[in-house]
Structure 1
Amino acid sequence: MQVTETAADGLKRELKIVVPATDLAGRLETYLNDLKGRVQIRGFRPGKVPMGHLKKLYGKSAMADIVNTVIGESSNKALEERNEKSAMQPQVELADADAEKVLDGGVDLAFAIKYEVLPAFELAPTDEIAIERPVADITDAEVDERLSQIGEGARSYEEKAEDAVAEEGDRLTISYLGKLDGEPFEGGADDKAYLFLGQKRFIPGFEEQLVGAKKGDKKVIEVTFPAEYQAPHLAGKPATFDIEVFEIAAPGELKLDDDWAKTLGMDSLEALKGAVRTQIESQYGFQTRQKVKRQLLDALDKQYSFELPPTLVEQEFDIIWRQVAAEMERSGKTFADEDTTEEKAREEYRKIAERRVRLGLVLSKFGEANKVQVTEQELQRALIERARQFPGQERAVFDYYRKDPNALASLQAPVFEEKVVDFLLASVKVTDKTVSKDELFTEDDELAA
């Protein structure tokens, strides 16, 4: 095999690789000899088929498989000998005319590969990185509030007298039809729906106009959708709703006691409180983890500056931009609404893409240098969690990931990243800082993470 570098520009490389025809012919002969003992052809005894006849029947298709194999093997070997790692699968170029000659035999296999190498950089020390781990205390009041929320979901209601009026806390059974400029709009109607006065589940002003209503009432109420309403065609618009009240029910007594806890499968109210506290601790812990990880990534981002593989950046940018475009379409907003332009937005999101690629390469190198690996058990757990997201289709999900190495790698990548983050957090300075619940749950810019 002969390898010649034909282009080198930054991280971009182009090689010309030539594999002698004799090597291909040798592989073909080995293949046909093996086939000779297995194939059954009418008119010939097993193992007695002439080599020329076999070559005539199977030579071209066999050579096609051999060429594909040789291209992959020789490309990998060329990079290995050059001590380079490709950021992505190299792009192979083989002229159609040359391919036909190679398949016919007797002609060297010559092809070009284009690729981008992973950048070379040294890992910086991490012992000077300092991180504050935000920790929020879980109060008894929060546990009690969560218990009350659970209780509200199981509260019973009793129908009130025919002439009773609707009060705060009552449950109304209503039908409604929403209209814009007198015309019904999509998603603005429901029949025999529950409305709980005081829970503010409807748009502002809707529930308040039903306080004092009676069973059998029919009325029209006027409201205005919030300017930030999720449906862009309704945001900020005045609307009317035709309402009919079918039932008014008063809330039954809610006793948060041992008997109630037992209806939820717990031994006692204290046991239920413990389970609720554990659930809240898990939620707080996850949020703390995200905050700590963000600080670590920010610190690493400041330590490194190196050339990035353009194709990796472009792919990451495309993922981000599709996400941004989908969100803007869903919300009905424009770049002007965000006080920017598309050009400026693209520039900012490209910086985010570059950050993601750079940090991905840094974390990958830390993991490789410190022999961080994803175990089979960890990968299996990730696969199970993924399958759980598709109830009833678990078997199909398992089969999909097991048959597609790239898909399986996509499951492994986030597990690997979290293990590398754990490794790095053990080497940096971490101090706890008590914060409020609101501070803990203040959202960071997700795209920049």
Structure 2
Amino acid sequence: MQVTETLNEGLKRGYKIVVPAADLDAKVNEKLEEARPEVEMKGFRKGKVPMALLKKQFGPRLMGEAMQEAVDGAMAKHFEDSGDRPALQPNVTMTNQEGWKEGDDVEVEMSYEALPEIPDVDLKGIKLEKMVVKAAEADVDEALGNLAETAQDFDDRRKGSKAKDGDQVVIDFLGKIDGEAFDGGAADDFPLVLGSGSFIPGFEDQLIGAKADEEVEVKVSFPEDYQAENLAGKEAVFECTVKAVKAPKAAEINDELATKFGAEDLAALKTQIGERLEAEYTGAARAVMKRALLDELDKAVSFDLPPSLLDAEAKQIAHQLWHEENPEVEGHDHPEIEPTEEHTSLAARRVRLGLLLAELGQKNEIEVSDAEFTQAIMNQARQYPGQERQFFEFVQQNPQMRQQIQAPLFEDKVVDYVFELAEVAEKEVSKDDLQKAVEALDDE
């Protein structure tokens, strides 16, 4: 087998691979010998079929397999000998395919972009600052007040009071279309919070200003995309009887409230809230420190980037940002989006850091365990109540989805590894200072 270099320009590589006909013939014969003991053919005992007959019947099919194995073997040996790692799947083309016949050599052209050599980084020389925020009593009280609002109750307003946005009205209603009642259009003693958007658009607005014991006729149109096709786009009239008008009232902050949220008493609930807040602060501070680390790593290294990776990343960034600016456009039915210099610059940073983190992970044998990967899938599956099993199976069968879940897990493990080696100084700051630092991340 002969391998000849045809291109060596930057990270671009090209090779011509020639597989001699004799090598292919030997590989076909080897396959036939392996299969021969199990082959049965009319007129011959099992395992006694002449080689010439076997070759005539099975040779053409095995020749294709032999070609593929020979080329794959040549590529594998090349990468082992050269130490090259392709950035993407190599492009392989058989150049003498047209007119090729048995007995001819196989000529193949292989081209790819090699991953660059990643320079070493003195991780212990990196200096970082870790923001530390303690959950102040005022923060706990604020969070507790928010919880009380979510557990709000409603008290009857004074007789004759008009319902306001945010009030709860208790109603009996009967819906009709063209004077005929329809299934699912009636209820008694239904508690409806005005402004909650629980009912179809326009329904709740017409009950603002209503009083207890009043009859109100609500006229609405069902949306064109309403889930019940027999009602979609239809005009309806709801005959409503307002039985009570109630004002919202925040729940009292006491032990009873605490038990509603699974705590033994108010003191235990405050402790839980404090722990949750500090966990949130820690997560936010980690995000800020991670950005600072990536900035330091980006300044510490410089190397050539595979053009194909850079181009693909720039296009993806441009496409994503375009959709953020044009949220009304769904799918890919839009003009082609050309990356700008800004997109390419951002892509260069991402590709450079991605390659560096991958190299650090590989050199230091950092891996995502099966348990960590499974836990991450389960966490995402919770976003699809009732369909967790289907989601889990989908991920298991979809390599691209598996990669999307595994990549950030691997990156975070590498980042944590670097944190342990870097010089990290803690700095106690206020919640507002941390919030400003987090907002600065979003602006970049």
**Offset, 1:432:** 1.9
The residue type equivalent to 2:67 in the other structure is V
In structure 1, the partner of 2:21 is: 21
| Residue 269 (structure 1) shift | 2.2
Aligned mate of 1:414, from 408, 426, 429: 408
1:276 and 2:273 are equivalent in the alignment: yes
Amino acid of the structure 1 residue aligned with 2:60: K
**CA 1:407 to 1:50, structure 2 compared with 1: closer, same or farther past 3 Å?**
farther
Q: How does 1:333-352 map to 2 (within 5 A)?
A: 346-352=340-346
The alignment partner of 2:38 has SS state of coil
Q: Which residue of 1 aligns with 2:104?
A: 107
Distance 2:274 2:443 in 1: 31
Per the alignment, residue 351 of structure 2 pairs with: 357
In the TM superposition, what is the alpha-carbon distance from 1:37 to its structure 2 partner? 3.2
1:194 aligned partner, one-letter code: V
What is the Cα deviation at residue 5 of structure 1?
0.7
TM-score scaled by structure 1?
Answer: 0.75
User: For 1:132, which of 129, 132, 146 is the aligned residue?
Assistant: 129
Q: Please report how far the alpha carbon of residue 264 of structure 1 lies from its aligned counterpart in structure 2 after TM superposition.
A: 3.0
Post-superposition shift, 1:167?
5.7
Give 2:305's match in structure 1, choosing from 282, 286, 308.
Answer: 308
Q: Is the 8 A contact 2:21 2:104 kept in 1?
A: yes
Q: SS in structure 1 opposite 2:62?
A: helix
- 1:200-211 pair list within 5 angstroms: none
Query: Residue 89 of structure 1: SS of its match in structure 2?
Result: coil
- Could you say if the C-alpha distance between residues 173 and 407 of structure 1 is closer, same or farther in structure 2, counting changes exceeding 3 Å? same
Alignment partner of 1:261 is 2:255: no
Are the structure 2 counterparts of residues 389 and 257 from structure 1 closer, same or farther at C-alpha, using a change threshold of 3 Å?
A: same
Q: Deviations over 1:260-319 (max 9, x none)?
A: 322333222222222222222222111111100000001111122221100111111122
Identify the residue that residue 224 of structure 2 maps to in structure 1: none
Deviates more, 1:371-380 or 1:132-141: 371-380
Amino acid at match of 2:439: E
Query: Where does residue 443 of structure 1 map in the other structure?
Result: 439
Residue of structure 2 aligned with 1:116, choices 90, 113, 118:
113
Paired with 2:154 and 2:293, the residues of 1 have a C-alpha distance of: 51
User: CA offset at residue 213 of structure 1?
Assistant: 6.1
The amino acid of 1:424's aligned partner reads V
Please give the secondary structure, in 1, of the residue aligned with 2:371.
helix
Q: Partner of 2:17: helix, strand, or coil?
A: strand
Deviates more, 1:122-131 or 1:319-328: 122-131
Higher mean displacement: 372-381 or 402-411: 402-411
1:431 aligns with 2:430: no
Q: Is the 8 A contact 1:173 1:195 kept in 2?
A: no
Q: Which residue of 1 aligns with 2:88?
A: 88
Residues 254, 92 of structure 1: alpha-carbon distance in 2 compared, 3 angstrom cutoff? same
Secondary structure of the 2:305 match is: coil
Q: 1:27 to 1:275 in 2, by over 3 A?
A: farther
1:385 equivalenced with 2:384 (yes/no)? no
Equivalence for 2:71: 71
The question of 1:194 aligning with 2:190 is answered no
For the 8 Å contact 1:172–1:245, the answer to whether it is kept is no
Distance 1:173 1:327, change over 3 A: farther
Distance 2:414 2:421 in 1: 11
Give the alignment of 1:140-289 within 5 angstroms: 140-160=137-157, 163-166=160-163, 170-171=167-168, 194-195=193-194, 214=211, 248-252=245-249, 254-289=251-286
1:212 to 1:407, Cα distance in 2 relative to 1, 3 A? closer
CA RMSD of aligned residues (A): 3.7
Counterpart secondary structure, 2:318: helix
After superposition, the Cα gap between the structure-2 partners of 1:196 and 1:289, relative to the gap in structure 1 and judged at 3 Å, is same
2:139, 2:241 → 1: CA distance? 35
Partners of 1:382 and 1:71 lie apart in 2 by: 39
Distance 1:96 1:385 in 2: 52
CA distance in 1, matches of 2:216, 2:392: 54
Unaligned runs of 5+ in 1: 175-190, 198-206, 220-243, 333-341
Residue in 2 that maps onto 1:328? 325
- Which of 292, 296, 315 pairs up with 1:295? 292
CA distance in 2, matches of 1:94, 1:280: 62
Secondary structure, aligned partner of 2:134: coil
Q: 1:42 to 1:290 in 2, by over 3 A?
A: farther
Cα 1:38–1:272 change in 2 (3 A) is: farther
Paired amino acid for 1:311: S
TM-score normalised to the size of structure 2? 0.76
CA distance in 1, matches of 2:304, 2:143: 50
Measured in 1, the distance between the counterparts of 2:250 and 2:10 equals 73
1:374-393 deviation per Cα after TM superposition (whole angstroms, max 9, x unaligned): 33333333343344444444
Offset of residue 152 of structure 1? 2.2
Q: Are 1:387 and 1:393, in contact at CA under 8 Å, matched by a contact in 2?
A: yes
Partner of 2:225: none
Once the two structures are overlaid, the 10-residue window that deviates more, 262-271 or 77-86, is 262-271
Residues 352, 447 of structure 1: 8 Å contact kept: no
Q: Alignment partner of 2:344: what SS?
A: helix
Q: Alpha-carbon deviation of 1:360?
A: 1.1
SS of match in other structure, 2:348: helix
